[in-house]
């Protein structure tokens, strides 16, 4: 039995799960199965649980995934939580795509069973490469990827620098099985096309595997972003009530002003931030601007008054 972890396994992320407890998002696929086995059998973490979401998309195949996860957790003596969500119905009701609705259902299930511990997800290096390409293609940000340690959201990703091939080899060496989601092989979803078409073409064009490069780009992006955020927080950008202090902000260059606005909106949880949103907020900041308020993603209002910018959340938030 192979008890050696992959070389790029993130020990620091795993320590957070050991010290605070971890709820693993368990789909039954190779990645989450490997993650559960690594934490439970190799690292022998004492406080682990697993959460599976049956999306009710693939009928008996999805039911078999659910049973596989339940059996695995029983074998490992890991508490198992399962939630069934009619994702097609949820997508129709909300106007979300199936991908978006499935993701929302998973994170809702994780939140319901989190109980103060960290959510531990099995995203790996290939997922990170796809995320970087996706974000760059959207044009809303640079090569931003996922974080291995996201304490603000309570999420850990110990496998983020481990490749899918390494995960597969690790499981095979242990004689373990997993479930394959047949929809992952269908190239009619954006991320699947990135995985099966775009990344192989990039590899072929450049004559090498671009996944490590894209992962490194994401890491450097986050380092730069964190450094900029730290520098912004040292500036007098806020008043004592935490509102954006416009006399100072308006004195700054366009680039720094945009960075300040982006950091302010992001730190307060405004979703789906884009450059267009930042520019729209920037346009209402001057005292003589035509408008003094704008609606942001999530139904949030950005309002300028008395040399301040503040956010007004919709009812129920």
Q: What pLDDT is recorded for position 102?
A: 86
Helix (H) or strand (E) holding 156: strand 155-156
Q: At what angle do helices 30-37 and 60-76 cross, to 10 degrees?
A: 10
- State the Cα–Cα distance between residues 291 and 184, nearest whole angstrom: 46
Q: How many Å apart are CA 285 and CA 307, to the nearest integer? A: 8
- Predicted pLDDT at 2: 57
> Which pLDDT belongs to residue 1?
55
Pair type for strands 293-296 and 300-305: antiparallel
**Tokens 């407890």, residue located:** 21
CA proximity to 99, closest of 287, 15, 107? 107
Distance CA(123)–CA(161), nearest Å, equals: 9
**Any idea what DSSP says for residue 299?**
G
From first to last of its 317 residues, what are the pLDDT tens digits of the chain? Answer: 557 899 899 989 888 888 888 999 999 999 999 999 999 999 999 889 999 999 888 788 889 999 999 999 999 999 999 999 888 888 888 887 888 888 888 988 898 887 778 999 999 999 999 999 988 887 666 788 999 999 888 999 999 999 999 999 999 999 999 998 766 644 456 778 888 899 999 999 999 999 999 999 999 999 998 999 999 999 999 999 999 999 999 999 999 999 999 999 988 888 878 888 999 999 999 988 888 899 998 889 999 988 999 999 886 55
> Sign (positive/negative) of CA torsion 107, 111, 113, 114?
positive
Label residue 66 exposed, middle or buried (CB < 10 Å: 0-12, 13-18, 19+): buried
Residue found under tokens 């009928």 = 59
Residues in the chain: 317
Distance from CA of residue 12 to its chain's centroid? 18
CA distances from 193 to 142, 174, 187, 196, 198 (A): 20, 31, 5, 5, 7
What's the rounded Cα separation, in Å, for the pair 302 and 28? Answer: 43
Give the closest residue to 314 by CA, choosing from 254, 264, 266, 270: 270
pLDDT at position 227, please? 94
Q: What is the dihedral sign for C-alpha 66, 51, 126, 168?
A: negative
In this prediction the pTM is 0.85
């Amino acid at each position: 039995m192979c008890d050696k972890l992959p070389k790029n396994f993130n020990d620091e992320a795993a320590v957070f799960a050991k010290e605070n407890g971890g709820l693993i998002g368990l789909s039954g696929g190779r990645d989450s199965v490997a993650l559960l086995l690594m934490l439970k059998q190799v690292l022998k973490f004492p406080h682990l649980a697993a959460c599976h979401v049956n999306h009710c998309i693939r009928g008996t195949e999805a039911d078999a995934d659910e049973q596989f996860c339940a059996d695995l957790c029983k074998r490992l003596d890991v508490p198992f939580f399962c939630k069934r969500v009619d994702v097609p119905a949820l997508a129709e009701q909300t106007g979300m795509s199936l991908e978006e609705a499935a993701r929302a259902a998973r994170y809702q299930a994780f939140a319901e069973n989190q109980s103060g511990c960290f959510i531990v997800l099995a995203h790996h290096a290939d997922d990170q490469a796809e995320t970087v390409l996706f974000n760059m293609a959207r044009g809303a940000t640079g090569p931003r990827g996922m974080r291995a340690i996201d304490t603000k959201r309570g999420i850990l990703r110990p496998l983020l620098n481990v490749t899918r091939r390494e995960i597969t080899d690790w499981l095979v060496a242990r004689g373990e099985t997993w479930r394959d989601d047949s929809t992952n092989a269908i190239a009619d979803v954006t991320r699947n096309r990135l995985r099966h078409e775009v990344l192989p073409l990039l590899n072929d064009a450049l004559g090498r595997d671009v996944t490590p490069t894209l992962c490194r780009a994401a890491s450097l992006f986050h380092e730069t972003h964190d450094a900029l955020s730290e520098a912004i927080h040292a500036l007098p950008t806020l008043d004592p009530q935490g509102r954006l202090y416009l006399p100072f902000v308006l004195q700054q260059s366009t680039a720094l002003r945009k960075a300040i606005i982006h950091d302010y909106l992001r730190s307060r949880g405004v979703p789906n931030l884009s450059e267009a949103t930042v520019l729209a907020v920037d346009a209402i900041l001057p005292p003589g601007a035509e408008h003094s308020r704008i609606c942001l993603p999530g139904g949030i209002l950005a309002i300028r008054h008395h040399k301040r910018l503040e956010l007004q959340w919709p009812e129920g938030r």
